[in-house]
Structure 1
Amino acid sequence: MADATLFKTAADVLQWMETGCSPGIHPGLSRMEWILERTGHPERRLKVIHVAGTNGKGSTAAMIASVLQRAGYPTGMFISPYLHHWSERIQMDGEPIAEASFVHWANTLVPLIDEMEEAGVGRPTPFEFWTLVAIHYFAKEAVPWFVVLETGMGGRYDSTNVVHPLVSVITTVAKDHQEFLGETIGQIAAEKAGIIKAGTPVVTAVDEVEARRVIIDTATEKQSRLYLAGQDFHGIPRGSRDSGETFDFTGPFRELKGLMTPLCGKHQVQNGATALMTLELLRQYYASVMTDTDIREGLAATNWPGRLETVSHHPRVLLDCAHNPGAATALAQALAPYTYERLHLLVAVLEDKDATGILYPLLSLADTVTVTQVDHPRAMSGNRLGRLVEQVRPDIVPTQVPYPDQALETLQVKAGKGDLILVTGSLFLVSEVRRLFT
C-alpha cells in the first residue's frame, strides 16, 4: 500500500477510501495532527477564513470566495458535501481540483496513513482524508492567497479545526447531527464556537438567545473581537425577485447600498451581510484591497446551485437543499414572494434526519405531496416518509414514487401552467433531480 504509484485515477482513490479510511465519523483531531506534523504543518502556510454553522455556511463561504476572486486574490475553497461531482469539494478560483492533483496528493498521503495506523493512532475518516488532500493541495501546489474553509460538522473536533484562521465565521446554530454535537442548542453552539481561536476576530449571524450567549462567552474567554449581526452589522432587505435578493449593508466601518446576490430568499440577505462583515475585517485587520465594485460584482457573480434554484419554467421547478427543520423553515418563509396556483412538493430525506421537523413548515404550503427515495445508504424509505406526511397533514394522501426521476416526470405531467414543483428535503435528492436539467 505504500507504493507511491498506488493510484492511477480518481476512481482508484475513491474506491480505496471505502476500505482504506476508517468508516463513519470519529470526532477528534489527533489523526489530523499526526499527519500534519509529519508533512511540515502545511496548514500553517494558509490564510484561512474558517466558516461553521448549521445552515448558511456554504452560501456564505461561496459569497466570500466570489468577492475575493473578483478583487484579484487567488482563492481556494473547501466545501462539504458536494452537489454533483467529487471534485467540487476542493476548488481553486471556482474551478474544481484536477484529477491528476487529487491522485498525486492521495498517493503522497497514503504511505503516511499506513505509518499512522502502525503507530496506533488509527486511520483517518473519509472527511479527514478529504481535508488532508485539500490542505496539502492548497499549501504545496495551488498556493492561493486566501482559503475559505467550510467545516464538515460542528467545529471543535471537526477535521478542519487544525488551522489558525484570519477570521472565524459562525452563520447559524440549529438542531442537526445531535448524536455528535449534543441535544441542546447550547451544546451545539459550544461545538460550533470551538473554531474560535485566541485573538482572532469572529463574525456571527446567530440570533438564538442561548447559542448567542455561548458564542459571546467563548469569544470573551478567547479575547477575540466579536461582530454580531443585528448589533455590529446589519443586512437590510430591499427586494426579492426570482433573480435574487437586493439589500443594504451597514457595518462598523462603512455602508453599502443596493447590493445584489443571485441567491434567493431573505435568509441569503443575512448570509450576504455575514460575508460582507467578514470581508470588511480582511480589509481592516489585514489591509486587503477590495473596491466597492469588487464587492458588488463579486456578490452578484456568486455561484451556489441547488439553493432556491429555478431549473425549469414550463412547468416551474424549484430546487432547495433544505435538510433540517431550520433550513425548511427558512425555505417556507422564502417562498412568500413566489406566485403560483398550486404547489407540488417532491420530497426525500435521509433516515438520520428530523423528517417531521423538515415536513412541518412545508406541508402547510403544499397542495400535493410526492415522496421518493434517494440513492443513498441512509435514505428513508418512501413508505415511512409517506406515513410521516400523513401524520403531519392528515388531509393529504401522499403519492409514492420509488425513483426521483420518475417522480419528477409524473409531477411535470400533473402540474398546471401556473403551478410550482418544489424539490427539497435532501441535498442528494436535489443532486439527482438537478442532473436531469444539466
Structure 2
Amino acid sequence: MADAQQSSAAGTLATYEEARDWINGRVPFGIRPGLERMIKLMEAFGRPERRLKFIHVAGTNGKGSVCAYLTSVLIRCGYGVGTFTSPYITKFTNRFQYNGTDIPEETLLRLTNELKPHVEAIAETELGPPTMFEVSTALAILYFATVEYPDYVVWETGLGGRLDVTNIVTPVVSVITNIGHDHMDILGDTIEAVAREKAGIIKPGVPVVTAVGQPEAADVVAQAAQEKKSSLYRYGEKFGITPLTAREGEQTFRFDGLFRTIEPLTITLSGAHQRMNAAVAVMTLEVLRQYYALILDDEDLREGLRTAKWPGRLETISRSPRLLIDGAHNPEGAETLAAALRETYRYDKLHLMAGMLANKNHRDALRHILPLVDTLVVTEPDFRRAMPAEELAEIAVALREELGCSFELIVEPNWKQALRRLLSLTGGGDLAVVTGTLYLIADVRSHVLYNTDSEKGW
C-alpha cells in the first residue's frame, strides 16, 4: 500500500489497485464525525447529490438486510437502483453497486482521480484531510450522479446518523431499523443517546419508517419526527407481520400495513429478525407508493423479496460439513443469532468459531451464544484492532463458570488453522458456525467459496 501511495502522491493513479489503496490509505485519519469536509467535496462538483432520490437507512443491526430487500424489489419493479453499503464482504467495489452489479474497476479509477486533487486541497485547509469513508461516500455520489443516474439510491449510513457523512443527502424516505449497543464509545453511552444520533437522519417533512423497539429509543425517534413534521411509521403500530411458515432457508409471513395487507410473502434469509427487516422494507416501499407513485406490482414485490440475498448473515456456505456464517458483532446481533440457532436450525452438536475486534462488548455478546455450544473455537481476525484470542478465551472461561454451561474451548489465533479445527470437529449431523466481526466473516467466506483472500474493509 505504501508503494502505491508514493507512486500516486504526485499525480494520477494508474490502476484500480492504486486507487483502492489510496482510499484505504486514509484509514489512519480515523472516523471524524461531521459534514464540513463532505460539503466542501460536493461543492467542488456542484452538489451532485441533490440530483438523486435517496432512501436513507440507519440502525444498529439489519441495515444491510433492509438495503438488500429494497434493492432487490426495486430492480424487479424495473427501476434503476444504486446501492451504497458498508463494510464490504469480498471486494472494495461491492460497496458501490448499480442494479446489483459492482462499479467497474476502470470507473472507480477514473472517479478517484477526479476526486483526488480536491481531497488533497481540502487536506491543506483547517478542515484537515478527508477520511476513507468520506472519500468513499463522495465516490458513490459521483458514480450515481454522473455515470449511472439511478431512479433510486439505497443509501446506508456508516456510523450513527446525525454526523455521519452520508447525512449530506435529503432523502425521499428515512429508515431506522433498530437501536442497540454498538459504537457507544462514539455515539453515546445510553440507548437514548444512540437513538438521538440515529434519528439525526430525519429531515423536515420526509417520512420515517422504523422498527425501533425499546420505549425510550422509540420516544426519541418519535420526538425527532414530530419536531421535523415527518410522518412516522413504526413497526408494531402502523405495520407488522404474522408469521406463516418457517424452516431453514425459507420463511413466509403476512404483511399487515396501514395501507393494505399482503400475503403470503416469502424470504430465503433465515431468522425471525429477517421477517421484521423485510416488513421494514415493504413498509418503506408502501410509503414510496403512496407518496411518490412508485409502481409496485405485487408479483414483483414477492419475487424481489424471495430472491434478496445478503452475504455473511446467517448464510450457509457449505453443506458437507454444514457451515453457517453470521456477522453477529454486538450483543443484539448475538441474541438474534442465538434465537435463530434455537428456533430455525436442527443439529446434533453445535461447534462455534468466534473472532472479534478489540472495541466491542464481547461479554454480553457471548452470553447469548455460549449456553448453546458444544465446542467454542476462539481465534483472531486478520485485521487491525483484532482482539487477541487469549483475551476472548478468558471472557469465555469466566462466562462458562458464571452461566454454568459446558463446552470444550479451543484457542487458535490463526483463523485458517482455527477453521480447519472447526470443520474437522463437525460430524454429519452437526452444525459449524463462524461468527464475530465481519472482517473474519469476509475472510472465511472468500476462503471457503472462492479459495481466495478477501479485500475486506470498512
Fold similarity call, TM over 0.5 = yes
CA contact (8 A) 2:8 2:18 kept: no
Say whether 1:227 aligns with 2:233. yes
Q: What does residue 319 of structure 2 align with?
A: 313
Say whether 1:168 aligns with 2:174. yes
Say whether 1:242 aligns with 2:248. yes
Q: Report the TM-score, using the length of structure 2 for normalisation.
A: 0.93
Using the alignment, how far apart are the partners of 1:18 and 1:305 within structure 2?
22
Say whether 1:193 aligns with 2:204. no
Query: For each residue in 1:105-159, what CA deviation from the matched residue of structure 2 results, as whole angstroms up to 9, or x when unmatched?
Result: 1111111112222332222110111000000110011111100000001000001
CA contact (8 A) 2:123 2:130 kept: no
Query: For each residue in 1:286-334, what CA deviation from the matched residue of structure 2 results, as whole angstroms up to 9, or x when unmatched?
Result: 0110100010001111121111111112221111111000010011111
Q: What does residue 260 of structure 2 align with?
A: 254
Following superposition of structure 1 onto structure 2, how do residues 6-405 of structure 1 map, counting pairs within 5 Å?
Answer: 6-19=12-25, 23-335=29-341, 336-394=343-401, 395-405=406-416
Q: 1:418 aligns with which of 404, 429, 435?
A: 429
Using the alignment, how far apart are the partners of 1:315 and 1:15 within structure 2?
36
Superposition deviation, residue 3 in structure 1: 8.9
CA contact (8 A) 1:2 1:111 kept: no
Gapped regions of structure 2 (runs ≥ 5): 1-6, 450-458
Superposition deviation, residue 22 in structure 1: 6.0
SS of the equivalent of 2:117 reads helix
Range 305-314 or range 3-12, more displaced: 3-12
Indicate how the Cα distance of structure 1 residues 234 and 374 shifts in structure 2: closer, same or farther if over 3 A, else same.
same
Query: For each residue in 1:361-399, what CA deviation from the matched residue of structure 2 results, as whole angstroms up to 9, or x when unmatched?
Result: 000100111111110011111111111110111344410
Superposition deviation, residue 26 in structure 1: 0.4
Indicate how the Cα distance of structure 1 residues 72 and 406 shifts in structure 2: closer, same or farther if over 3 A, else same.
same
CA contact (8 A) 2:270 2:344 kept: no
Say whether 1:409 aligns with 2:420. yes
Superposition deviation, residue 404 in structure 1: 2.0
Q: Report the TM-score, using the length of structure 1 for normalisation.
A: 0.97
- What is the number of equivalent residue pairs in this alignment? 438
Matched letter for residue 45 of structure 1: R
Using the alignment, how far apart are the partners of 1:371 and 1:20 within structure 2?
30
CA contact (8 A) 2:390 2:411 kept: yes
Range 71-80 or range 348-357, more displaced: 348-357
Gapped regions of structure 1 (runs ≥ 5): none
CA contact (8 A) 2:374 2:408 kept: no
Using the alignment, how far apart are the partners of 2:301 and 2:24 within structure 1?
41
SS of the equivalent of 1:393 reads helix
SS of the equivalent of 1:327 reads helix
CA contact (8 A) 2:56 2:155 kept: yes
Superposition deviation, residue 14 in structure 1: 2.5
SS of the equivalent of 2:168 reads coil
CA contact (8 A) 2:23 2:136 kept: no
Q: What does residue 445 of structure 2 align with?
A: 434
Matched letter for residue 162 of structure 2: R
Indicate how the Cα distance of structure 1 residues 280 and 4 shifts in structure 2: closer, same or farther if over 3 A, else same.
farther
CA contact (8 A) 2:61 2:178 kept: yes
Matched letter for residue 241 of structure 1: R
CA contact (8 A) 1:235 1:272 kept: no
SS of the equivalent of 1:304 reads coil
Query: For each residue in 1:156-179, what CA deviation from the matched residue of structure 2 results, as whole angstroms up to 9, or x when unmatched?
Result: 000100000000000010010011
Using the alignment, how far apart are the partners of 1:302 and 1:123 within structure 2?
37
SS of the equivalent of 1:235 reads strand
Using the alignment, how far apart are the partners of 2:229 and 2:188 within structure 1?
25
Using the alignment, how far apart are the partners of 2:286 and 2:248 within structure 1?
28
SS of the equivalent of 2:327 reads coil
CA contact (8 A) 2:267 2:306 kept: yes
Using the alignment, how far apart are the partners of 1:401 and 1:136 within structure 2?
43
Superposition deviation, residue 17 in structure 1: 2.8
Range 150-159 or range 247-256, more displaced: 247-256
Range 221-230 or range 231-240, more displaced: 231-240
Superposition deviation, residue 2 in structure 1: 9.7
Indicate how the Cα distance of structure 1 residues 435 and 114 shifts in structure 2: closer, same or farther if over 3 A, else same.
closer
Using the alignment, how far apart are the partners of 1:65 and 1:20 within structure 2?
29
Matched letter for residue 363 of structure 2: T
Matched letter for residue 174 of structure 1: G
